[in-house]
Amino acid sequence: MTAEEGCSPTPSDNTVVPPGTPKKIEEGNMPVRRGSASSSGGGPGGGMQAASASEVASRESDLDDRTLSLKVMVGIGRVCVFRVGGVEETCRTDEVAVPRWEFLVGDKPHEHYDELMKLRPPMQQIASIEDSSAAGTVVVSSETAEAVEDSFELLEVGQGFQVGALTRKLEAFQETHGLPGASTGTRGHASQTRVATILRAHLPDCVRDRIEAGHADFINEVRRLTVLFLGFPSLTEPKRPTPEHPEVAGGVGDVQRVVEVVQRHMRQYDGSFLQFRCDEKGFLAICAFGLPGRTHHQRPVRAVRAALKIVDNLKEDGTQTCVGITTGDLLCACVGSPARSEYTVFGDPINMSARLMCKAKKGMGSVLCDQKTYDRAKATAKFVALDPMQVKGSPGPVLVYKVEPMAPRGTAFARNSSDEVEVPLTCRTVVRKPLVERDDVMEMMWSRISGMMREHQGGVVLIEGAA
């Protein structure tokens, strides 16, 4: 677990993401998507960054009469660089376990204001201007506007400023060239092997296995998945001492703890940990059930159980977790260029899970799910049907369920969302009773089971009886 703090004078390489990538997608339905790309940086290069963002946002591509558009939000300031995780993804004895690590850039945990630079954290700046941005525009935070006000026309919109035309020539921007690519073949075999080993640990196992098997051309596919979109609002809130914890630990350790808990429960329920990141929604994780090598008939059941376990485990440390769960068909694909690409899933279900996570953050419940997940997992937990709600990106109101841990065995409840009154359906405790006059049946059953275990010979036993 490592983290570094420093200034970021120029945008990261992924300032602009391919349309359709959920890493920054904020609105839109397949196949036409509207996305947002956010970047952070500080220093004298702020004007160059805004110019680059403005140029990208002004471009549009027409594909079969479909317009792909982009909205860009810019913040500046110091960021943290994280490398977190390290939990082995599989517990199967027939596979070589590889620890999974995530590398990301984000705000410093638990910080609301940078005392040294007198700035809000960059991602919090972007969050404050999200509602003021629209497709085809570049909107910057007030901190960014102060850095570029001599170079651009700025129009105040909400809490941000929309970037207009250049007001002066930016010589530095015009002379800036990309860095040369890394040379290949200059390192020895041992060094290349070490680099490859490190890089393997940053890939989901389903992608790594296919690449190493020579099946990279078959990675992209549409699959029926159950996806979890997890938010951790506690990581962006100031952390203050308490009588139980008089010393406030570093925020990097809290991020590592969260990632470990998520990874362990994905391993326990045989799900896939796809990514952990920090953006305008805060610290987030995306997990999926049903990717290659981890396909199960009861994907929604496993997803619901894993979500409840994650919420419960992190609650013990005082970490709030909000989860949106949805089920549906998603495109699972590598997006990007041959030089740099990312494996991700996108489609309506992942967009909806993000919306449900945001609803959960507003106090509607720790875990929310859609109708399809409820239909396939309703015997797994206690579900409370909420009033149909309007969700961004949906043509009409959608049915949403609040998910809670299952009531103690022997008790079931019916709940009404209007008055939240619990009505006991039964309070009878299931009592285990002995079988009467079934000695011959039990003897036959044990004989079949013993034969199966000893001789590895299967068979069929048909049991009939009154209902």
Nearest to 401 by CA among 421, 426, 376, 423: 376
Using the predicted structure, report yes or no on whether residue 463 has a pLDDT greater than 90: no
Using the predicted structure, report yes or no on whether residue 253 has a pLDDT greater than 60: yes
Q: Tell me the residue type at 331.
A: L
CA–CA dist 408, 391 (Å, integer): 33
Lowest mean pLDDT among 205-219, 370-384, 440-454: 440-454
Flag whether 315 is in a domain: no
Nearby residues of 326 by Cβ (< 8 Å), 6 or more positions away: 226, 227, 349, 350, 352, 353, 356, 369, 370, 372, 373
More confident residue, 44 or 361: 361
CA–CA dist 235, 254 (Å, integer): 7
Domains held by the chain: number: 1
Confidence at residue 114, expressed as pLDDT on a 0 to 100 scale: 73
Query: To the nearest whole percent, how much of the chain has pLDDT over 90?
Result: 45
Confidence at residue 311, expressed as pLDDT on a 0 to 100 scale: 97
Lowest mean pLDDT among 19-33, 131-145, 236-250, 276-290: 19-33
More confident residue, 21 or 228: 228
343-370: average pLDDT: 94
Flag whether 407 is in a domain: no
CA–CA dist 287, 313 (Å, integer): 17
Lowest mean pLDDT among 100-104, 319-323, 430-434: 430-434
CA–CA dist 189, 69 (Å, integer): 44
Quote the distance between the C-alpha of residue 258 and its chain's center: 13
Whether the Cβ atoms of residue 205 and residue 252 lie closer than 8 Å to each other: no
Nearby residues of 456 by Cβ (< 8 Å), 6 or more positions away: none
What is the overall mean pLDDT for the chain?
79
Whether the Cβ atoms of residue 230 and residue 285 lie closer than 8 Å to each other: yes
> Cα separations (Å) of 21 from 217, 243, 342, 394, 462?
19, 44, 9, 19, 51
pTM score: 0.72
Which residue, chain included where needed, has tokens 């930016």?
170
Flag whether 273 is in a domain: no
Model confidence at 46, pLDDT cuts 50, 70, 90, reads low
Using the predicted structure, report yes or no on whether residue 195 has a pLDDT greater than 80: yes
Model confidence at 52, pLDDT cuts 50, 70, 90, reads low
Model confidence at 244, pLDDT cuts 50, 70, 90, reads low
More confident residue, 364 or 141: 141
Flag whether 123 is in a domain: yes
Confidence at residue 48, expressed as pLDDT on a 0 to 100 scale: 52
For the chain, what is the radius of gyration of the CA atoms?
Answer: 26
More confident residue, 103 or 338: 103
More confident residue, 161 or 46: 161
Domain of residue 154: give its range.
Answer: 1-77+114-175+188-202
Flag whether 406 is in a domain: no
Model confidence at 452, pLDDT cuts 50, 70, 90, reads confident
CA–CA dist 57, 71 (Å, integer): 6
Flag whether 467 is in a domain: no
Q: How is residue 98 annotated by DSSP?
A: -
**SS3 of the chain: helix, strand, coil, percent, to 5:** 30, 30, 40
SS3 170: coil
Flag whether 207 is in a domain: no
Predicted confidence (pLDDT) per residue in 282-319, tens digit: 999 999 999 998 988 899 999 999 999 999 999 998 89
Query: To the nearest whole percent, how much of the chain has pLDDT over 70?
Result: 72
Confidence at residue 53, expressed as pLDDT on a 0 to 100 scale: 56
Flag whether 161 is in a domain: yes
